[in-house]
Amino acid sequence: MKLALVGATGMVGEVMLKVLAERNFPVDELLLVASERSVGKQISFKGKTLTVIGLNEAVAAKPHIALFSAGGSTSLEWAPKFAAVGTTVIDNSSAWRMEADKKLIVPEINAHILTKDDKIIANPNCSTIQLVMVLAPLHKKYKLKRVVVSTYQSVSGTGLKAVKQMENEMAGIKGEMAYPYPIHKNALPHCDVFEENGYTKEEMKLAREPQKILNDRTFSITATAVRIPTAGGHSESVNVQFENDFELGAIRKMLHETPGIVLQDNTDTNTYPMPIYAHDKDDVFVGRIRRDETQPNTLNMWIVSDNLRKGAATNAIQIAEYLIYHKLL
């Protein structure tokens, strides 16, 4: 197994290396790829020192799989070049997600639709993944009607420049700004760029991606995405209306029994999900589950996950594992 990691020097790339090592991913040759600026840089993986190479060299090596986390424009240009030499690309950017002929995969939900012909596979947005992980089992049983989600997203979702901005502000140092305003001691109702309809791109990803992953356009989602000064881990307040009624106990039992989900829901002991618990974990945490008493068949809940792990690196690596174990390369 020859694996290329495109964006190996980035924030998600670093977590991918960690997750590959932790899961003992079956790789014989690992190609670390980044921009020309980083070529020659050395990075250690499982006790070995590897040298960063450029994209041309990586394509020429014809890896079996390429994990991409190097931004949308790099994906748009280079994913087809890898696909043309027979590499299966798993892309973490938003470049291909909504293309009709590209699959958008959360392995626990829809990896069964993958075939050998899928040469560019899209990894969903981080805030989408944690949301659909919880919605999917509930949708199967109670059928989603409408979802209202408000996110509380960490600065790590924006990247290194944003993490630096927050650290500088906390230390009282003037530096480069990733956001139009301070993020320390603040909350910005603004994740990614604004679209013509007044929503941000992040909000529209939350509205559109779940319908594609769940292969159902009969329900609707509306979102408000907010950046908050947490270092890692996205949180979501989610109001869900179902077509069918439910028992809260049955909902908790179902979520507790769903692989990849951890139920943290006990108000007697102040038990609920928080970014500090989710940090460095692959699970999606859910709690504060309660009936919305203002309308039928509706509940409120709180979902937290490490946006760089299940929201990015882990999900992409799980897709790669699925391809290997089901001989789909």
Count, residues near ligand 11C per rule CB under 6 A: 13
Q: E strand or H helix at 128, and its extent?
A: helix 126-142
Torsion angle defined by CA atoms of residues 33, 36, 38 and 40, in that order, rounded to the nearest 10 degrees: 80
Smallest distance, ligand 11C to C-beta of residue 125, A: 4
**Is residue 291 classed as helix, strand or coil in its secondary structure?**
strand
Assess 232 for contact with ligand 11C (CB under 6 A): no
42 appears as a binding residue in the annotation: no
Which amino acid is residue 4, in one-letter code?
A
158 binds, among ligand 11C, ligand A2P, none (CB under 5 to 8 A by kind): ligand 11C
Assess 70 for contact with ligand 11C (CB under 6 A): no
74 binds, among ligand A2P, ligand 11C, none (CB under 5 to 8 A by kind): ligand A2P
Which amino acid is residue 211, in one-letter code?
Q
72 appears as a binding residue in the annotation: no
The residue from 125, 230, 235, 314 that contacts ligand 11C (CB under 6 A) is 125
**Which positions from 276 through 315 interact with ligand 11C, judged by CB under 6 A?**
307
User: Which positions ≥6 away from 195 have C-beta within 8 Å?
Assistant: 201, 204
Torsion angle defined by CA atoms of residues 167, 172, 174 and 178, in that order, rounded to the nearest 10 degrees: 30
Closest-CA residue to 68 (of 127, 129, 122): 122
Structure tokens at 249: 């106990």
| Count of CB atoms situated within 10 Å of the CB of 218 | 10
220 binds, among ligand A2P, ligand 11C, none (CB under 5 to 8 A by kind): none
- Please tell me which residue in 64, 112, 234, 326 is annotated as part of the active site: 234
Give 192 or 236: the residue with its C-beta nearer to ligand 11C: 192
Give the binding site for ligand A2P (CB under 6 A).
7-11, 13, 34-35, 37-38, 55, 70-71, 74, 159-160
The residue from 11, 30, 126, 240 that contacts ligand 11C (CB under 6 A) is 126
Q: Is 126 a catalytic residue?
A: yes
Distance in angstroms (rounded) separating the CA atoms of residues 148 and 135: 12
Distance in angstroms (rounded) separating the CA atoms of residues 256 and 258: 6
Structure tokens at 218: 């009969």
7 binds, among ligand A2P, ligand 11C, none (CB under 5 to 8 A by kind): ligand A2P
Give binding residues for phosphate as ranges.
97
Residues that bind ligand 11C (CB under 6 A): 93-94, 125-127, 153, 157-158, 191-192, 202, 205, 307
Residues recognised as catalytic = 126, 234
